Structure 1
Amino acid sequence: MAMGLRTILPTQQYRANIRLDSKNQKVSESSKVTWSFAAITMTQKQPKGPRLGVRHLQSFLLFLGLTVMHIARLNVSVAIVAMTNAASTNPNFPEYNWNEKHKSYILSSFYWGYILTLCPGSFLCRRYGAKVVLFVASFGTAVFSLMTPWCISWGGWQVFCAIRILQGLFQGVIFPCVTEHLAMWSPPEERNRLGAFSYTGTDCGTVLAMFISGMIAKGAMGWPGISYVSGSLCAAWCFLWLIFAANNATESRFIGESECKYIESSLQHNEDFHDRTIPIPWKAIWTSVPFLALLVTRCSETYGLSTLQAEIPSYMNGVLNMDIQSNAVFSSLPFLAMWLLSYVYLIAADLLLKKKILSLTSVRKLFNTMSFWIPAAALIGIGFLNEDHKKLAIILMTVSVGVNSGATIGSSLNTIDLSPNHAGILIGLSNTVANVIPILTPLIAGEIVTDKHNRGQWQIVFGLAAIIFFFGNVVFIIWGTAKAQPWDADDYLHPKDAESAKEKTPTPQVAEVAPPIDPILEQQITWPERYTAKAVE
């Protein structure tokens, strides 16, 4: 029998219980038993495939996709300045007399649509696959980006808001699809590396949106060029994604057999896994303590980070008498630090896991603690600074936002740990709840701060965010885990159906007496506990 074939064999302990009649080599009547067989796989070690394979290409494509789509998402904050003050950039293009209220509608309208498609995005991804859904999301973003200058000249700020809402609807499906795609392509031992690298595209896109948008607005293309460039980048990514992406390893045209086997076997996918629809255990999800702990953690992170991003500039303008919003370098420094530090976290986590210094759960909790408690301390410190400590304020703000990038490895990727089969659903649910928080943050701060020059009021705002940061991580430390939950099982909702299917499976026809096994071959057979056959007397 060739190595690598699946063989029907009785277990070693079972063969020892069979007494043979020396004359006719038949099983004696006194030892008749019911045979139980197991599928035994030879221990020929399967190669892991190339060090740089198609799974890494998928991660790189996700990185590029998150980068270009975040550029399209965030470039409006720079474009709107040029559109309402042409003299500050290129005066050869139209200028619009929009007040602060109109600007706030434009800047927030993206999230009105974004929050509506987070959960539906999970279902669309399960139904049509990440390849199709992400392609449509990026293509829709590209089309509306390219149409923006013309539509604004025709319909003003109202049409601009409508375009941003539509772009938000398209981009709401991104993170559920990214998470689902990573779950299909990332072997457990490489999940941190591939997942964290993909997610750094959000930080890269944030930094590039600020730098590139300002340069384009001042150039020959003016502010319309911001929309044209971002739309073209999204369209170019669509082309690459359509060619090289695949929903899973078995569908890829470019993957080698060894890498495909490595990915599918490490994820414990059988032959018909991708052809089945696994029902969603809603009750189990909403009553799962680790998932609820993750939900609280994500919400607390969103509150603290949105305070850093939205309220710090106002504090520096009111208390420190600084206008960092007009300085592209100061505005982008925190996000540049976040992007660079995310790679430091990635490498550190990889080393800790490779050398087995810490378990995956311990790595998650350690990195999440750093990304929550250091910014919490920085928030409290910033609240006590005055106009004489501007440089220290910038340093603290940069460090606090940068260090928070560890939350990607700490808690963001935890959805894949808890349930690889339902990772897209979990990220859709958690992101939907968490993205309500940025809407509440400015409202809460607005109720507390009635005088932007009053440092005491700002200390309350930052102190509240620090407390939420602190206790959100405490919840994760106590109840968080990186172990897959029982409700992730394929047959969790229908265990009886699975048992009945096993009973209906015809028993293989074999000889009453086990054929002799070559001693060398017998040593190469693995006998894991879950495959051990038991004799029935």
Structure 2
Amino acid sequence: MEDREAPAQAHNLLGQKTAPQSRRVDNALTRTLRSCCVIPQRYVLGVMGLLGVCNAYTMRVCLNLAITQMVRLNKTSKAHVDENACPSDDVINNVTTIVAEKPYAIFDWDQSTQGLILSGFYYGYAATQVPGGYLAEKFGGKWTLGVGLLSTALFTFLTPIVIRVGGATWLFILRVLQGMGEGPTMPALMIMLARWVPPHERSFQGALVFGGAQIGNIFGSFMSGILLADGRDWAYVFYFFGGFGILWFILWSLLCYSTPNTHPYISKKELTYLNNNVTTAENQSAKDPVPWKSILRSAPVWALVCAAVGHDWGYYTMVTDLPKYSHDVLKYNIATTGTLTALPYIAMWVCSFLFGLVCDVCIKKGWHTIKTGRIIHTTIAATGPAICIILASYAGCDRTAAMVYFVLSMALMGGFYSGMKVNALDLAPNYAGTLTSLVNTTSTFAGIVTPYLIGLMTPNSTLVEWRGAFWVCFAVLVGTNVVYCIWADGKQQWWDDVRQFGYPPGWKHGPLIKENIPKQPESIRLADPKEVY
């Protein structure tokens, strides 16, 4: 009887109706599942979230490598002479092999067209960030995320058919639709983590879940290289990753739920622990409108947006264009390109856990505040890669040195997950989805601009042209990090829970909630980061 009543009691703590939940879990199957539930469900969510992000990124990046085998490179010595060109794995008797090595290369797309196609995904991705955050906050993250990724999986599976029928135009439209399906991914995950993860576990859980991006890049690059080796049809890449996405959706539907209190077989111990430790406002705040007036006037929010733009510029430069750089400039063959492109993401994934553990330990022991931790790790993730990517470009045709710098660059970028990536949960646990959607919508423009700009800057894909593109990346990473260091914050903002914190002195922009509450005296203080723990 005690187990039956646990979910209902937890619901009462939040002022929610308990009868429907009690009736739903009061059966033999759920009691059995609950008794067998050895692994805490927040970690099950973490692993499935990791696989979901992995799934999203494999479908996002598989075209980056496949396009090198879809396009004819009718490039001869008469067309362009690059005195800095690197020797090729595919050069025999000093004669560059051409179309014969790519039996399925049936398209004549120039570099700017390829850049436009690769950027198409991010148009759709930006368009559904805010709607995705709204839907996740209103209906829960489970189905918002799940249905979105399922649609992307189906579109990925259909990609070869669409390309052969409609060419570049239809492929661009399909990539936009794929981006629209993935748009709600990060806002929905942020909302679920805000409901499931206590503050002192966020750095590690953030590294676990969002580290799925690196698993996706590793898995996507490695498997694409294998599937494309020996002149195989590039269509296999899209069939494989589309099928992987559909399989993930089935498991997600069965194992994960939007909140602990809607989970049918979470243990009583874990449910009580989460209800006592997860920072969320009272249930009535869910009925309030999103406080856009205060969000758009918040300096920490814009610092977060700026840092995200810088990170995404550097990250998308690596994700979208490293396969092209390895293949076109360093002259690796396609199988080697797939393997080597995966190495930087392995380094980033491993280091993201190390940075996350270090950050959590330092905060728990009081060695530094949340704000300081976020700034330290964001700076590591911005300035370190900026320096390494420049060193890689000046390594010239020294393949070993170039790849070492690229690997080190992405390893340092692993600090991003325990830095600014989880900062939205610090600033606004109750509006994490909305804030994440705002941040991602703005930063996604880097994904739109970067591939197209690099395509324009590297028409002949030479080493000197790519060096210029990397200098632009350096400037963006360092400049945006300076802004973040000045205005970043690690405290829950007053507008996230006006009922608790009140309005700041001098607020003249009207009420943010449906019922007016008095302004707090100037002496009121916001939550101290140390008190969260």
What's the TM-score, normalizing by structure 2?
Answer: 0.75
1:298 and 2:316 matched: no
1:211 equivalent in structure 2 = 222
Tell me what 2:483 maps to.
475
- Give 1:454 deviation, angstroms: 7.6
Q: Distance in 1 between matches of 2:382 and 2:444?
A: 18
1:466 to 460, 474, 484: 474
Compute the displacement of 1:374 (Å): 1.5
In structure 2, relative to structure 1, the CA distance for the partners of 1:150 and 1:450 (3 Å cut) is closer
**Structure 2 CA distance, aligned partners of 1:402 and 1:64?**
20
Aligned residue pairs, count: 448
User: Could you tell me which of 68, 83, 88 is aligned with 1:81?
Assistant: 68
Q: Which residue of 2 aligns with 1:497?
A: 515
Taking the aligned partners of 2:471 and 2:167, their CA distance within structure 1 comes to 40
The aligned residue for residue 200 of structure 1 is 211
2:357 maps to 1:339: no
Confirm or deny that 1:377 pairs with 2:387. Answer: yes
Contact 2:125 2:181 in 1 (8 A): yes
Identity rate, percent: 27
1:364 aligned to which of 358, 374, 377:
374
Letter matched to residue 140 of structure 1? S
Task: Name the aligned partner's letter for residue 109 of structure 1.
Answer: G
Are positions 1:429 and 2:438 aligned together? yes
| Maintained 8 Å contact 1:82/1:88 | no
Distance in 1 (alpha carbons) for counterparts of 2:162 and 2:481: 45
Tell me if structure 2 keeps the 8 A contact 1:325–1:331: no
The offset of 1:225, in angstroms, is 2.6
Shift of 1:289: 1.1
TM-score for the superposition, normalised by structure 1: 0.74
Kindly state the Cα deviation for residue 458 of structure 1 after the two structures are TM-superposed: 6.2
Matched residue type, 1:350: D
1:367-446 equivalence runs, <5 A: 367-387=377-397, 389-441=398-450
* Cα pair distance change 1:257/1:220, threshold 3 Å: farther
Query: In structure 2, what is the equivalent of residue 123 of structure 1?
Result: 134
Matched-pair contact (CA < 8 Å) for 2:288–2:513: no
Per-residue displacement from partner, 1:241-293 (whole Å, max 9, x unpaired)?
1112111111001212221122122225577459x423211111111111111
Separation in 1 of the partners of 2:161 and 2:326? 37
Give the C-alpha shift of residue 425 in structure 1.
Answer: 1.0
Conserved in 2, the CA contact under 8 Å of 1:64 and 1:237?
yes
User: Partner of 1:497: helix, strand, or coil?
Assistant: coil
Amino acid paired to 1:372 = A
Question: Which secondary structure state, in structure 2, belongs to the residue aligned with residue 96 of structure 1?
Answer: coil
Deviations 1:13-61, CA, capped at 9 Å, x for gaps:
xxxxxxxxxxxxxxxxxxxxxxxxxxxxxxxxxxxxx994111111111
Alpha-carbon deviation of 1:468?
A: 3.2
What letter matches 1:480 in structure 2? A
Q: Contact (CA 8 Å) 2:119, 2:447: kept in 1 or not?
A: no
Amino acid at match of 1:432: T
Q: Distance in 2 between matches of 1:211 and 1:454?
A: 24
Offset at residue 495 of structure 1 (A)? 6.5
Are the equivalent residues in 2 in contact too, given 1:121–1:173 (CA < 8 A)?
yes
The 1:441/1:223 distance shift into structure 2, 3 A limit, reads: closer
Match of 2:278 among 267, 270, 275: 267
CA–CA distance in structure 2, aligned partners of residues 128 and 115 of structure 1:
21
**What RMSD over aligned residues (CA atoms) do the two structures have, in Å?**
3.4
**3-state DSSP of counterpart to 1:435:** helix
In structure 2, the gaps of 5 or more residues are 1-5, 10-36, 73-98, 503-510, 519-526, 528-533
* Mapped partners of 1:215, 1:88: distance in 2: 16
Structure 1 462/488 Cα, relative in aligned 2: closer, same or farther at 3 Å?
A: same
| SS across alignment from 1:97 | coil
Question: Deviation per CA, 1:355-411, whole angstroms, max 9, x where unpaired?
Answer: 333322222111112112222322443454444x44222211221122112111111
Question: Cα offset for 1:422?
Answer: 0.9
The CA distance in 2 between the partners of 1:83 and 1:452, in whole Å, is 17
Aligned equivalent of 1:67? 54
For 1:216 and 1:288, locate their aligned partners in 2 and report how far apart those are by CA, in whole Å.
48
TM-superposed CA distance for 1:139, in Å, is: 1.7
Aligned-residue offset at 1:236: 1.3
Output aligned runs, 1:49-64, within 5 Å: 52-64=39-51
- Corresponding position of 1:486: 494
User: Structure 1: how far apart are the matches of 2:374 and 2:358?
Assistant: 12
Q: Does 1:149 align with 2:160?
A: yes
Most deviating of 434-443 and 187-196: 434-443
Whether the 8 Å contact between 1:216 and 1:223 is mirrored in structure 2 is yes
**Comparing 323-332 and 339-348, the one that deviates more:** 323-332
| Long gaps (5+) in structure 1 | 6-49, 501-529, 531-537
1:71 aligns to what SS in structure 2?
Answer: helix
| In 1, Cα distance between equivalents of 2:326 and 2:163 | 33
Aligned-pair CA distance for 1:469 = 2.4
The answer to whether residue 148 in structure 2 is matched with residue 137 in structure 1 is yes
CA shift for structure 1 position 216: 2.6
Q: Secondary structure at the match of 2:211?
A: helix
Q: CA separation of 1:145/1:313 partners in 2, compared to 1, >3 Å: closer, same or farther?
A: closer
**CA spacing shift, 1:290–1:336, aligned 2, 3 Å:** same
Look up the match of 1:352: 362
**Cα deviation digits, residues 111-166 of structure 1 (max 9, x gap):** 22222111111111122211111121122122222323333444344333332221
- 2:403 maps to a residue whose letter is I
- Secondary structure of the residue aligned to 1:303 is helix
In the TM superposition, what is the alpha-carbon distance from 1:63 to its structure 2 partner?
A: 0.5
- Give the letter for the 1:405 counterpart: G
1:407 corresponds to which letter in structure 2? F
